[in-house]
Chains A and B, each alone.
Chain A
Amino acid sequence: MSAAPDRSDSPVIVLRGRKVVGGVAEGEALVTRQTISGWGGVNALQGTIIEARHELRGVSFKGKVLVCPGAKGSSGWSVAFHTARLAGTAPIAMIFNEMTTKIALGCVVMRVPSITQLDRNPLDVIETGDWVKVDADRGIVEVRKKVRAAASASDSGVTAPRA
């Protein structure tokens, strides 16, 4: 996990939700409005999304707080993200909207703090590059917005390419 950047000036936005998997973690957010396919949609050993027409194609989720609507596709979802955990390429926390067996089991075997059913849509509040703390035990997400001036500097390297 990288050190928290100095965003002490930026206000903290607090979201409340339901614990899926307990624990606390913080880091940079990687946000997508598209559901994520596991097996066949990610390269687990590299920690990247490979699905052909996905807005995050080629982007790494390693060490990120992954924020997404949910999971789709193959029943190998948990195996893909379980393998990513073993390979050291998994996200450090998960925030999502749509509960499914795929994403629930995936979060369990990734063993990362995970939250759903937030009181505001996390996809509207959190942007890629924001600093996010997930306290799943208390059901709390704290968001520090990325400083606008830094946005063009591409300090995160995870800006999503768009088709």
Chain B
Amino acid sequence: MKLADDELAMLDGARGKAHQKAMELLVRYAEALGAERFVNTTNVAGVPGTSNPFLERYFTQPGDRYNVIYSLFDLDSDEVVEIPRMTVHACHLQGGTDPENWQTLGMKPEQLQISLAGERGAAERDIRILKTCTPYLAGNVPKRGEHCAWMESSAVVYCNSVLGARTNTEGRESTSAAMITGKIPDFGFHRDEYRYGSHRIEVEVPVESLMDWGMLGYFVGEVVGERIPVLTGRFAPPDLIHHKHFGAAAASSGGVEMYHMVGVTPEAPTLEAAFGPNRPVETFRYGPAERRRTYENLNARASDPNVDFVMLGCPHAALEQIREICRLLDGRKISPSVRLWVFTSRAVRAVADREGYTKIIRDAGGVLLTDTCSAIGQALPPGTKVAALDSAKQVHYLPAIMGIEAWFGSTADCINAALTGRWNGALS
């Protein structure tokens, strides 16, 4: 591959050990991809230096723990180097625990201490500790065409599709190296020719609600896999939250990193613009039968109607969703046999506190949590057997990771289950 002068200088160690190790990893990665050069990036979102009990026990080398974990795991280096202050806009995505409500999540003091130490290490290096899977709801909104290096599949698909910025689904190691160097391989979604649609999806049923958008996303991911769908048909223009749930679902059931909605998303003013030089590989119809089958797939891991856990906020809830939850609760108390957890970002939580939403949820018997979610934190209330979820992404992961049953439905279905302890959701 062709390396620019500043890249060669980093490899040679001219900017110190950390830049050298980060560049070495990026070159290994670029060669694996078959990339020929790097692009410059000034917007990197990852989980730099995050530790956990396994890594703490595995890496026993002496020195500052943040440097140790970042060097040996994030940079896959065989020696510990001093991790410098970041010069590019770098942020930390979701973490493993809520520093205020860690006991609610059942976290051990050791986990809290590891999390707090990692947060300090990141902040000392000018990494923005947004601690959310929705950085675009917490102040990091890249502009169209901007080269980014983001992790978090739901944020990546939002970044490419809705914002028209450019990122591949990066991983922890590549984003941590990109934060130091400001470089990422010129591959995939950084390149014009890669961003055109491959498959057409004709939507033949109305798609309006959050639940509809989650189901459509889950269907699309299942049929196109890692390719790029172009949607046409009977959908109302989606809002930010619909995009968030659609993209998260498509990225979970498949590997969708970018989609086009004709007349909606920035790189799809017309069908022709969305496909560019490509001809559609295949066209899939999303009609009543596909919608029903998707609903049944999403509910394949539930049979017991007695719900003991309701989890909302995957991806992290927007303020409007928290308001909707408060409206649905309508001053009532949830069933004593149910726990209600709502996850959001610190930034949104700060406003929710001031709006009074946090108190409304608490008065109903639930709790508004930040930083993590049940799947990421592997956290459930004690004895949880059956969950109710309004996120196709969370229902894809949580039963597999935690070995519980989970129902999928609308936010109203979930709040109804929280109030009654019974699942009464159905496909309308």
Contacts and interface: CB of A to CB of B under 8 A. Distances in A.
Given A108-B29, A109-B76, A101 B252 contact: no
Contact of B252 (A35, A73, A104): A73
Contact of B400 (A50, A72, A86): A50
Given A104-B29, A108-B29, A79 B171 contact: yes
B74 to A, nearest CB: 10
A75 B173 contact: no
Given A75-B153, A82-B73, A114 B172 contact: no
Contact of A99 (B33, B54, B375, B401): B33
Contact of B171 (A18, A21, A77, A114): A77
Contacts of B29: 104-105, 108
A72 B226 contact: yes
B207 to A, nearest CB: 23
Nearest to B75: A109
B152 A75 contact: yes
B225 A45 contact: no
B28 interface: yes
A35 B255 contact: yes
A76 B46 CA distance: 10
Nearest to A105: B171
B187 interface: yes
Give the most central of B32, B58, B152, B170: most A CB within 10 Å. B32
Interface of A is mostly: mixed
Given A40-B400, A50-B400, A70 B226 contact: yes
A154 to B, nearest CB: 26
Interface in A101-127: 101-102, 104-109, 111, 114
Contacts of A77: 171
Contacts of A21: 28, 32
B280 interface: no
Interface in B92-149: none
A20 interface: yes
A52 interface: yes
Given A70-B226, A104-B29, A108-B28, A52 B400 contact: yes
Interface of B: 25, 28-29, 32-34, 54, 58, 73, 76, 150-153, 156, 168-174, 187-188, 225-226, 251-252, 254-255, 300-301, 375, 396-397, 399-401
Interface of A: 18, 20-21, 35, 40-41, 45, 50-53, 70-79, 82-83, 86-87, 98-102, 104-109, 111, 114
19 contacts: A20-B32, A35-B226, A52-B396, A70-B226, A72-B225, A72-B254, A73-B153, A73-B251, A74-B397, A78-B172, A78-B173, A79-B172, A82-B73, A101-B171, A104-B29, A105-B32, A105-B171, A105-B173, A106-B171
